[in-house]
């Protein structure tokens, strides 16, 4: 695959400092407006914007030929492309997000020495307590996994990202959502049908389900209002999840154990009818704010002013 990773995103929020403090607490290493994960490096930038939204996403490509192909495809779609030696830029007008494709080195992730767990009739951890209950250090997300945006023109946005940039479709929910990948992760970008463009959530990989739970519980200490949805397991993508709400109204997700697609021939993309079953395999009832943002009226009013 020519595209190989979701390198970074820039998000816009009205309350930059408050939101920045939240993401530092979430476990990202802050350097001014830039935030890093342990494996992915600088992956988040937070800037000022009248409403919360995705401003830019940057995708890593292997070489110049890959950039040429992306530029050709976007041009064929009638999309203006800005090109320099090692990158290109194009605006997806319906979500108002800028896509950047840049030649970047691949970043192989070192595997974590996950301690063995006991299965039924199989004790791989004998005479010892589970390490997950003994961890005490801070949660440090390993990498940015995916970003989810609402778009009022999902078909056109999908053409831009799939036919233009080169994302692949992993799964979809008919008329509602398209799960797209630019790496071996099941999804790096999810497009949701929405009356207005907005940032739904960003998602950050942690080592295992214990880290998902531990991370969320720490964020909730003294801040019960941050709780949104979790602990659960998604159906599409299979990942464990716990969603929290940042001070701008975006959700941030800790996840682990997502499906990985390394051979396109062996993965069969599915199309599901819209249903809660497509959303999650198990977990608490889905809160209404996951499906319709609490600030939808404000977002729509702001979009009419622009
Ligand atoms: Fe997610």
pLDDT tens-digit series, residues 227-245: 999 999 999 999 999 999 9
Predicted confidence at residue 1, as pLDDT, reads 52
Close Cβ partners of 68 (under 8 Å, ≥ 6 residues apart): none
CB 81 within 8 A of CB 88: yes
Residues in the chain: 306
Does 170 have pLDDT greater than 70?
A: yes
Alpha-carbon dihedral of residues 157, 158, 162, 165, nearest 10 degrees?
A: 10
Close Cβ partners of 265 (under 8 Å, ≥ 6 residues apart): none
Tell me the CA–centroid distance for residue 246 and ligand 1, in Å.
Answer: 15
Tell me the CA–centroid distance for residue 72 and ligand 1, in Å.
Answer: 31
- Angle in degrees, 0-180, between the axes of helices 209-220 and 16-26, rounded to the nearest 10: 140
pLDDT tens-digit series, residues 259-288: 999 999 999 999 999 998 899 999 999 999
Predicted confidence at residue 109, as pLDDT, reads 87
pLDDT tens-digit series, residues 14-65: 999 999 999 999 999 999 999 999 999 999 999 999 999 999 999 999 999 9
DSSP 8-state assignment for residue 259 = -
The SS3 of residue 170 is: strand
Tell me the CA–centroid distance for residue 230 and ligand 1, in Å.
Answer: 11
Tell me the CA–centroid distance for residue 253 and ligand 1, in Å.
Answer: 6
Tell me the CA–centroid distance for residue 304 and ligand 1, in Å.
Answer: 28
Distance CA 71, CA 79 (A): 9
Tell me the CA–centroid distance for residue 9 and ligand 1, in Å.
Answer: 15
pLDDT confidence band for 164 (50 / 70 / 90): very high
Residues with CB under 5 A from ligand 1 (ion): 203, 253
The mean predicted confidence, pLDDT, of the chain is 95
Tell me the CA–centroid distance for residue 294 and ligand 1, in Å.
Answer: 18
Residue boundaries of the structural domains of the chain:
3-107+143-305
Q: What's the first-to-final CA gap in the chain, in angstroms?
A: 38
CB 95 within 8 A of CB 157: yes
CATH architecture, domain 3-107+143-305: Roll (3.10)
> Both tokens of residue 306?
């622009």
Close Cβ partners of 294 (under 8 Å, ≥ 6 residues apart): 249
Tell me the CA–centroid distance for residue 169 and ligand 1, in Å.
Answer: 16
Q: What is the largest CA-CA distance in the chain?
A: 64
């Amino acid at each position: 695959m020519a595209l190989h990773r979701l390198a970074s995103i820039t998000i816009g929020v009205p309350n930059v400092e408050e939101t920045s403090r939240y993401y530092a607490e979430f476990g990202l290493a802050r350097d001014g407006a830039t935030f890093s994960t342990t494996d992915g490096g600088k992956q988040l930038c937070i800037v000022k914007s009248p409403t919360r939204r995705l401003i830019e996403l940057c995708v890593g490509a292997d070489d110049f030929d890959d950039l040429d192909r992306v530029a050709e495809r976007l041009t064929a779609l009638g999309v203006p492309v800005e090109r320099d030696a090692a990158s290109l830029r194009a605006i997806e007008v319906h979500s108002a997000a800028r896509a950047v494709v840049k030649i970047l080195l691949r970043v192989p992730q070192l595997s974590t020495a996950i301690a063995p767990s006991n299965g039924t009739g199989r004790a791989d951890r004998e005479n010892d307590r589970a390490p997950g209950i003994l961890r005490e250090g801070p949660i440090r997300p390993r990498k940015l996994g995916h970003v989810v945006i609402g778009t009022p023109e999902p078909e056109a946005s999908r053409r831009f990202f799939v036919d233009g940039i080169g994302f692949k479709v992993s799964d979809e929910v008919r008329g509602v959502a398209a799960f797209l990948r630019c790496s071996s992760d099941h999804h790096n970008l999810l497009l949701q049908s929405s009356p207005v463009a907005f940032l739904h959530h960003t998602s950050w990989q942690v080592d295992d389900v214990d880290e998902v739970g531990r991370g969320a519980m720490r964020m909730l200490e003294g801040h019960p209002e941050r709780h949104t949805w979790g602990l659960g397991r998604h159906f599409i993508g299979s990942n464990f999840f716990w969603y929290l709400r940042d001070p701008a109204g975006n959700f941030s997700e800790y996840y682990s154990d997502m499906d990985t697609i390394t051979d396109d021939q062996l993965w069969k993309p599915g199309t599901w009818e819209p249903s809660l079953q497509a959303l999650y395999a198990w977990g608490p009832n889905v809160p209404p704010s996951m499906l319709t943002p609490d600030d939808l009226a404000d977002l729509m009013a702001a979009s009419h002013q622009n």
